Amino acid sequence: MRAIACALIGALTLTTAGAAAADDMANMKGMSPAPAAKQGKGTGVIKAIDAKVGTLTIQHGPIPAVAWPAMTMTFKAKPATLLKGLKVGQTIGFDTTVRGMDADVTAVRPK
């Protein structure tokens, strides 16, 4: 009798947990999708290059297409080969793709 009671309690626990998980999944339908990528063009001065991790730090002017004021920030170079031939202190034009808090440099034009 005790074994049956334990089995019944276990089954009820699993059923309740399964129903709670189903409710959680149903609530996920209302979640916002990842933000769409925005693209913009900027001009700035290279402040740092890290070829090992493939990043470029640029002090740039405003980029209205992505709603950014002037600032200094680090971008991931995509592809990393964009970093070849660039030098700290160099003025460049660049293209950026922004997804949420992630920003990539996708093209570089020496000025």
Output the pTM of the full model.
Answer: 0.69
Is the predicted pLDDT of residue 32 greater than 70, yes or no? no
Residues 6+ apart with CB under 8 A from 70: 59, 60, 61, 62
Specify whether 27 is located in the same domain as 45: no
Contact 82, 107 (CB under 8 A): yes
Specify whether 42 is located in the same domain as 94: yes
CA distance 83 to 93: 13
Residue 6's domain comprises 1-31
Specify whether 24 is located in the same domain as 1: yes
Specify whether 5 is located in the same domain as 53: no
Max CA distance (Å), the chain: 85
Given pLDDT bands bounded at 50, 70 and 90, which one contains residue 35?
A: confident
Specify whether 49 is located in the same domain as 94: yes
Specify whether 21 is located in the same domain as 54: no
Specify whether 12 is located in the same domain as 62: no
